[in-house]
Structures are given as C-alpha cells and as structure tokens.
Amino acid sequence: MTDNNIQGRDTGWRKALREEMTAKERTAIPRVEMPMLDGAYRVSCNDEVNQGLSFEQAVLEATRCLDCPTPTCIEGCPVGIQIPDFIKNIQRGNLPAAAKILKATSALPAVCGRVCPQEKQCESRCIYNKMKKAPVAIGYLERFAADEEIARGVDINTNKTKTNGIRVAVAGSGPAGLSFAGEMARRGFEVDVFEALHEIGGVLKYGIPEFRLPNSIVDAELASLRNAGVRFHTDTIIGKTLSYDDLLNQGFKGIFVASGAGLPKFMGIPGENYCGVLSSNEYLTRINLMGAGRKGFDTPAPVGRCVAVVGGGNTAMDSVRTARRMGAERAIIIYRRSETEMPARREEIEHARQEGVEFMTLANPIEYLADEKGRVRAVRVQRMELGEPDASGRRRPVPIQGAIDEIEIDLAIVSVGVSPNPLIPDNIDGLDVTDRGTIAVDENLCSSIPAIFAGGDIVRGGATVILAMGDGRHAAASMAEKLLADAKC
C-alpha cells in the first residue's frame, strides 16, 4: 500500500518535519519512560503493568526519530513494518494514518506493540545504538498508535475487499493463523479459521497473561479481522473433527496449518509426576483461559504459598508473575544458567523483580520430594557454574560437585519448552514431518502436500508471536500467488 499523502520520505510534510529540528536537538531528547503501575499494587490484581504513552509523550518520542534515508529498523522487523512512516505520522498528530500504515503489514499491531521483543528486533537496529544512546521506543509508539485506533472505535478494515471467491482454511487462531487470515482477507480470499479451543486467539488468550496483554486488546484485533470478512469456528480440530478431505469437499483450495506448540516438555527427573508439579502451559491455561480461582469459574486453580518456576524464558516469567498474583508468598525462578543467558525479555525480568520474584540462577532441579499423599513438598536443586560455551554460544552450565540444596515448595511449574502439537501431523496422511516433529516446509512455507502451507510454532518448534506472524504473512503471499495462478488455468 502506498498513499502519497501519508507515506514516503519525500512528501512535503515529512520534509518540513525534518527541517523543524536538527539531529543534535533530536538526539538530546531522552528516551521516553513507559508509565507503569507500582509493583506492590500490581501483584494484587491482573491490571496491565504498562499503562501506555500519553499523546504528548508519544509525539516527543516520535520527534526523536531521525527519519533516516535508509532506515535499518525496518530490516529488524520480521513483518517489515514501515517504521519511520508510522512514527512521523504520530509526530505530526495524524494517528489514523499511523494506524493505517501499521495495519498494512501487521494484523495485530496492538498485540505486537506489547509482546514483540523490540530490543532484539527493530530497536536493536536503530541508528541511536551507534551513537551509544537508547534507541527510539518503536514498540511503545506502535502500541500507542494501535491503541488510539481501538479507542477511536473506527476500523480501517470495514471497507471489505471484493471477494475473489476462493476459499482458504486456517487451522489455529494464534498469531500465525490470525496474521495469515488478515493477509488473505485483504487480498479478497474467503477465510475460515478453525480453532480447537473454545476461545479464539491461541497463545494470546491461553498463554500470555492479561497483565501483559489484556483480552480486550486481543478481542479488538479479532473484531477488526471479523470486519474484514474472516469467519471463526471454535471447537473444531483439523485432522480430527474435520479431515483434510472434508476441507477439500467443502471447497477449500488452500489450508494454512498454524496449530502451534503442543506437548509441554518435562525434565524427566524423579518425582516430576507428583501432584503440584505441572507445566506452565497447564498453569497458564487454567488461570488465563479457564478463569481458575475467580468467582463464577469452575476450573480448580493450582495454588501454592511457595512456588518454584523452572526455566528462564518469557513463559517462565509469565508463570512466576502469575503465581505472585495468585497469592504466592515466595515465587522463585530456578534457572540453570546465569541471568545473562536468560532468554526472557529484560523488561519481563525487571517487572518480575519489581513484583518480588526471587531469582535462583545457576541451579538445576534434580528431584521433587512429596508428602505421604503424593503432593510436592520440596525440590532438590543442583548448583551449577558456567563452563565452556556450548553449541548455542552460551556458556554451558556444569554441576558443582556436592552442591545440592533442598528448597521447600508446594507448587512447581515446569517451563522448559514445548514440542510441536502432534494432532495435525499425526492425522493427515502424506504430510512430511521433521525428526523434531515439526511440519516440513519449503522456502514458500508449502508442505509436502501442495494445498497445505504451515507456519509458526508447528514449523519452528517454539518461537515468538512476531515470528509466527511473519510466517503467516509470508505463507499468505506464497499461497495467494499459487491459488491465483491455479485459478487462471
């Protein structure tokens, strides 16, 4: 999409904005601080921690952007958002234009503005880094523009694209599936999304807690996709409820499999099946999706006074922070490497610390102990030290001989990764699967069955929301090209 009035570095208004201030003046402005709730207060509720920028803060932060002739930030974005275009529209106060630019490449900007690891992507490529200064807060600005769009209640997707009559199906309504659905609807395809659970949104609903991503934000993005003509079906498992042949018989010409991460990994240590030892998937699903522990919800909540969360990723941080909100007096991250190696976002680690989470690094659980009823009562941890770098480039943790501690706990949440969901690979004949259990795809994300494309965690094994969305976008481009070529024959 190019719109001469809102996009392009050579438009008159953009030139005028650049001439308003020198680079020196811009770089002298300090990076905006995200307003947030106080740590002690936020463990008492599920309110969103980051409160979002004010209009004035957003405009000032947008002013920091130097509007580089070759903006490297875009290269850091998995979906290639036209970053300076939207930022400069914020600076001049044209928020609908900023939102329109975001929506042109991302189906879920309000989600991405919150959960993308911008510090490793767009912001890591910002020119400010070369000047040893904090990069432009691209993520905060993205969220600001998207939230303003939602608040205005005007949806740019209300102008539906004229349908081309070609039906496509999506298995899974997480980030990859939603991004694909948005892209295909925009191109005029008739899109039906099938979700196994009773709620649309995948990991955005069952996994990421509301204090990081409120459900109302996800729902607003879903409403926008519905406006664009996307149809959603809950309680439907592709490969089970509807077979591949059923979909073909219903007239679907292409299928995008975005069924996500499945089986939680466990460590295979003694006592891991005791009551009170559970996966982060189970813990977060019970609380986020099923409302466990809240009035009017029947699902029982796993509650502990002293909760150990094993792992150092974002899911581990989500779990340990949820445990604090569920009333845990002690909530401890147990991680086998040091904090430097933790894969979680720095922001999440900092937020967890502000909320009173304890960090026990260089420690690896080796056994759980239980009471006479089989309920976990302690975890034994092996203390570690860092040795030589391993295949991942991170220093390998090695056990310190004899250094074993026993920590009293009454709940343990295992957050050491997931394997791909086996339901679709197991139930569609002829679909090639890698030895890791992921669906094998070519560079166009096409599987061994020409009508089936796949992306997100079912292909990657376990990645981020934005990489999944990038796959959805990529698969949509290649499937659309193929189906339109087929239609001409």
Partner 1 sequence: MNRIIEKEYFSENVVKLVVEAPEVARARKAGHFVIVRCGEGGERIPLTIADADASKGTVTLVVQAVGVSTRKICALGVGDTLTDLVGPLGRATDICLHNGTVVCCGGGVGVAPLLPIIKAMKEAGNRVISVLAARNKDLIILEDQVREYSDEVIIMTDDGSAGRQGLVTAGVEEVIQRENVAEVVAIGPAIMMKFVALLTKKYNIPTMVSLNTIMVDGTGMCGACRVKVGGKTRFVCVDGPEFDAHQVDFDEMMMRMKAYN
Residues near partner 1 (CB under 8 A) are 196-198, 206, 234-237, 240-243, 246, 261-264, 266, 268, 272-276, 278-279, 281-282, 285-286, 290-291, 296-300, 302, 373-374, 421-423, 426
Looking at beta carbons only, is 188 or 422 nearer to partner 1?
A: 422
Q: How far is CA 129 from CA 27, 211, 304, in A?
A: 11, 29, 43
Residue 300 beta carbon to partner 1: minimum distance, rounded to whole angstroms = 4
Based on CB atoms, which residue is closest to partner 1, 237 or 398?
237
Separation of alpha carbons 150 and 148, rounded Å = 5
Please report which helix (H) or strand (E) contains residue 333, including its range. strand 330-335
H or E segment at 338?
A: none
All residues at 6 or more sequence positions from 438 whose CB lies less than 8 Å from its CB, including other chains? 420, 458, 459, 460, 461
Give min distance, CB of 301 to partner 1, in A: 9
Q: Tell me whether residue 246 or residue 406 sits nearer to partner 1 (CB atom).
A: 246
Q: Compute the least distance from the CB of residue 242 to partner 1, in Å.
A: 6
Alpha helices in 23-92 (DSSP H): 23-27, 39-42, 55-64, 83-91
Pick 329 or 426: Cβ nearer partner 1:
426
Nearer to partner 1 by Cβ, of 121 and 415: the residue is: 415
The residue type of 471 is D
What amino acid is encoded at 345 in this protein? Answer: R
User: Which two three-digit tokens encode residue 195?
Assistant: 């979700």
CA dihedral 455, 460, 465, 470 (to 10 degrees): -50
How far apart are CB 409 and partner 1 at their closest, in Å? 15
Q: How far is the CB of 461 from partner 1 (least distance, A)?
A: 14
CB of 247 to partner 1, least distance (A): 12
Of residues 235 and 408, the one with the C-beta less far from partner 1 = 235
Q: In the 8-state DSSP scheme, what is residue 242?
A: B
Distances (CA, A) of 113 to 39, 87, 222, 265, 481: 21, 13, 16, 29, 29
Q: Of 415 and 447, which has the nearer Cβ to partner 1?
A: 415
Give the bridge partners for 376, in sequence order: 370
- Sheet architecture: strand order including 411-414: 277-279, 411-414, 306-310, 330-335, 358-361
CB of 264 to partner 1, least distance (A): 5
For the CA atoms of 64, 69, 71, 75, the dihedral, rounded to the nearest 10 degrees, stands at 180
Token pair recorded at residue 311: 């792992």
User: Looking at beta carbons only, is 76 or 239 nearer to partner 1?
Assistant: 239
Token pair 């990038």: residue: 470
Q: C-beta of 279: minimal distance to partner 1 in Å?
A: 4
